Amino acid sequence: MINKLAIVGIGLIGGSLARALRRAGYVKEIVGYGRNLNNLKLAVDLGVVDHAEVNLSAAIDEADMIVVAVPVGAMTEVFSQLSGRITRETVVTDVGSVKTSVVAMAREALDPAEFARFVPGHPIAGTEQSGVVSSREDLFQNHQIILSPEPETDAGAVEVVRSMWEAAGASVRSISAPQHDAILAASSHLPHVLAYALVDMLVRRDDHREIFDLAAGGFRDFTRIASSDPTMWRDICVANREPLLKLLQNFCDDLGEVMAAIEAGNGEWLMNTFDRARHARETYVKPAPSDSPDSVE
């Protein structure tokens, strides 16, 4: 049971966590912190938080759980402001889609005792929508949450964060920060970059209106995630650039082979490649547990 939950950044993920924990009766008080007064007022009006603060010290005062739910690029500032304010009774976690850089930010900003109370986390759930207005209490139901504790992370703090996410309806697993970043670069970051790049390429064509007017389900399915928050995905790409760049180079190399096969009219090579890809997707990609595909990592 959480007595006071302070959410730093009330958007889709932070707001959905608040809703889920309130539904589960797992939290007594929820305080939201942010700088956008309209967004904070909306969070209060929607009943997502009990009250909101524009002063971080006031928001986290006596909080036993602090969830940092801001874009990765803003986390350095948040951790710096948390420094000196994390007590032995406080647990801090985050929801960032990149873990190695976030761990480094926290380690630099916090003293060793405070860093031990920080549990790096990442919910593998979301939609292409953003903002507290899009938050929903069932967003994490049957989705996975990854925790990436460091060797010095307090074991009790890890269990507190695990219990919180399980109360929100999620299943929790632990993997290292570097492994997390390599896997998510392939499963999430690369697809988002490709979707953004495709839509941007097409919209710069003179005939882009005709292209979008005639686009069918396949195009909508492939490019849906290009509607995700650009600020968040800019930060993710920069923070996880090394694993992402390696995958982009691999993709370019493989795409070159596809181009060569098309140019040569090598239908057999194309058939084998497409058949292998279809079989892999049908074998390894599980049906979504809800209508909210992974797009806010």
- Encoding tokens for residue 186? 């392939």
For residue 122, what is the enclosing H or E element?
A: strand 121-124
Res 28 pLDDT > 80: yes
The pLDDT of residue 295 is: 40
The pLDDT of residue 120 is: 98
The pLDDT of residue 130 is: 73
Predicted confidence band of residue 134 (pLDDT cuts 50, 70, 90): confident
* Residue 289 within a domain: no
The last residue of a domain, from among 145, 175, 205: 175
The pLDDT of residue 32 is: 96
* Residue 293 within a domain: no
Question: What 3-state class would DSSP assign to 31?
Answer: strand
Calculate what percentage of the chain has a pLDDT beyond 90.
87
**Owning domain of residue 126:** 2-175
- Over the stretch 117-131, which tens digit does the pLDDT of each residue have? 999 999 998 766 678
CA dihedral of 151, 156, 160, 161, whole degrees rounded to 10 = 0
**246 and 280 together in one domain:** yes
**85 and 171 together in one domain:** yes
What is the pTM (predicted TM-score) of this model? 0.88
**17 and 93 together in one domain:** yes
- Over the stretch 151-190, which tens digit does the pLDDT of each residue have? 999 999 999 999 999 999 999 999 999 999 999 999 999 9
Res 114 pLDDT > 70: yes
CATH of the domain at 245: 1.10.3660.10
DSSP string, 162-209: HHHHHHTT-EEEE--HHHHHHHHIIIIIHHHHHHHHHHHHHHTSTTHH
Predicted confidence band of residue 36 (pLDDT cuts 50, 70, 90): confident
CA distance 30 to 151: 30
The pLDDT of residue 297 is: 42
- Over the stretch 38-82, which tens digit does the pLDDT of each residue have? 889 999 999 999 999 999 999 999 999 999 999 999 999 999 999
* Mean predicted lDDT score pLDDT of the chain: 93
User: Among 133, 144, 119, 113, which residue's Cα sits nearest to residue 65?
Assistant: 119
* Residue 254 within a domain: yes
* Residue 292 within a domain: no
**164 and 239 together in one domain:** no
Number of C-beta neighbours around residue 234 at 10 A: 14
Contact predicate 227/218, CB 8 Å: no
CATH of the domain at 26: 3.40.50.720
DSSP string, 40-102: HHHHHHTTSSSEEESSHHHHHTT-SEEEE-S-GGGHHHHHHHHTT---TT-EEEE--S--HHH
Contact predicate 297/184, CB 8 Å: yes
